[in-house]
Amino acid sequence: MREWNDLVKDQLIWIVIIAAILFIWVIVWNIIQGSKLRRTRRKYETMMKGTGVENLETLLIDLKVQMDAIEDEHGEQQRQLQSLQKLLPKLKAKIGIKRYNAYGEHGNELSFSMAFLDDLKDGVVLTGIYNREGCFMYAKPLTKGESLYSLSPEEKDAIHLAEQQA
């Protein structure tokens, strides 16, 4: 035991020096870490300023809930867009109008044929024939640009005008 005491007494100066160096190193390390922590805290406080939320966890949960709601809304909008894209070719957006004089030199150009078509050339052609005694209206359904009823040249012109529209 005495040998140990002598050994410790001989090496005591080195043990104290090593302990002092470790102590100084721990103090410096704590100062550096404290500085980093203060910078991080300032950045955190700057980021959280004006959010109305006291901690980051609550903010992240709120953002996640908002993101889920946005994703749900986006999915609903995608479904609506797909259904509209299915309906779009069926819209009767192409219109052709042909005005003419149905009775030659006895009338004026008040008669007309009007075609309403979709992209599939389905629709209807309306014809209005005017004279002094009255007015007659005719409607003929169209499928792929053709009708089960005979079409007049003016009705065919109106269909052709409607087909030319982009």
pLDDT tens for 106-122 read 667 889 999 999 888 88
Higher per-residue pLDDT: 16 or 52 = 16
| Predicted local distance difference test score (pLDDT) of residue 166 | 63
Output the six-digit token pair for 153.
């040249």
DSSP state of 25: H
Is a pLDDT exceeding 90 seen at residue 47? no
CA quadruple 25, 26, 30, 36: dihedral, nearest 10: 50
Domain ranges across the chain: 1-49, 52-90, 91-164
How large is the angle between the packed helices 56-87 and 2-48, nearest 10 degrees? 40
- pTM score: 0.50
**CB of 48 within 8 A of CB of 56?**
yes
Give me the pLDDT at residue 140, please.
95
